[in-house]
Amino acid sequence: MSADEASDALNQVYAAKSEAELAVAYAAWSNGYDRETAALGYCLPFVIAAWVARHVPVEAGPLLDAGCGTGLSGPYLAALGYQEIDGLDMSSDMLALARGRGVYRNLVEAVLGGRLPIADGAYAAVLSTGVFTEGHAPASSLDDLARIVRPGGAVIFTVRDSVLDKGGFRAKFTELESAGRWARIEESPSFRAFAVAEPEVTVKAFVFRVRQP
């Protein structure tokens, strides 16, 4: 498949108007997802490991890859020494491929935006990349991601620049900071999500430290 055809598949995902449409789009794309996003130069599943390594000691405890998709991040986190990695995604087709990576301890099918079937403080850190973008998980997802991280743990994620304000992410950051739920540790400059194609798709990476309740 050419980069142009891969871009068409990506655009169909962005064009989804509901959770159901998004699930259908990812199910249709799942088998070609890795190859086609590689053709576009999609780098987020790999570069997010740099922020995890910077802020989360290897011995800290389990990680959750929220919105893990086909599990592209998992092997790179494992190579850095993280051995307890769980994944969560809305697409059973994507999770089936993630399972084949052989590095995820548990995989959970769930949708970001509501309460997740995960206990309070279950994780040392949560990472989520490529999820907070056009037509995807809402800013309200951050409430529950903060809930499932233990005090002192990290919530590490990317947000597409185009939804930072209009999607309510900046407002949600402030809300959680004002409520004492977390403190901002790092905000990256904007950078390209795709090294080859889609130069207009830029994101920022954020790191928040969860506070004591």
Does the residue 8 lie in any domain? no
Q: Which SS3 state, helix, strand or coil, does residue 36 take?
A: helix
Integer Cα distance of 206 and 175 in angstroms: 15
Q: Structural domain of residue 136, as residue ranges?
A: 42-210
Does the residue 48 lie in any domain? yes
Does the residue 127 lie in any domain? yes
Q: Within 13 A of 32's CA, how many CA atoms are on the CB side? A: 15
Tokens, residue 135: 């037509």
Does the residue 69 lie in any domain? yes
Does the residue 170 lie in any domain? yes
Does the residue 2 lie in any domain? no
Q: Give the pLDDT confidence score for residue 3 in this predicted structure.
A: 43
Domain count, the chain: 1
Q: Give the pLDDT confidence score for residue 5 in this predicted structure.
A: 47
Q: Give the pLDDT confidence score for residue 37 in this predicted structure.
A: 83
Integer Cα distance of 83 and 56 in angstroms: 13
Does the residue 128 lie in any domain? yes
- Whether the CA torsion 13, 135, 116, 171 is positive or negative: it is positive
Angle of helix 3-14 versus helix 33-40 axis, rounded to 10 = 110
Integer Cα distance of 199 and 176 in angstroms: 31
Which amino acid belongs to residue 112?
A: L
**Tens of each residue's pLDDT in the chain, 213 residues:** 334 444 455 455 555 455 555 555 555 554 677 788 888 999 999 999 999 999 999 999 999 999 999 999 999 999 999 999 999 999 998 899 999 999 999 999 999 999 999 999 999 999 999 999 998 899 999 999 999 999 999 999 999 999 999 999 999 999 999 999 999 999 999 999 999 999 999 999 999 999 987
Does the residue 89 lie in any domain? yes
Q: What is the CATH number of the domain that holds 187?
A: 3.40.50.150
Q: Which SS3 state, helix, strand or coil, does residue 4 take?
A: helix
Q: Which SS3 state, helix, strand or coil, does residue 159 take?
A: strand
Q: Give the pLDDT confidence score for residue 21 in this predicted structure.
A: 56
pTM confidence score? 0.86
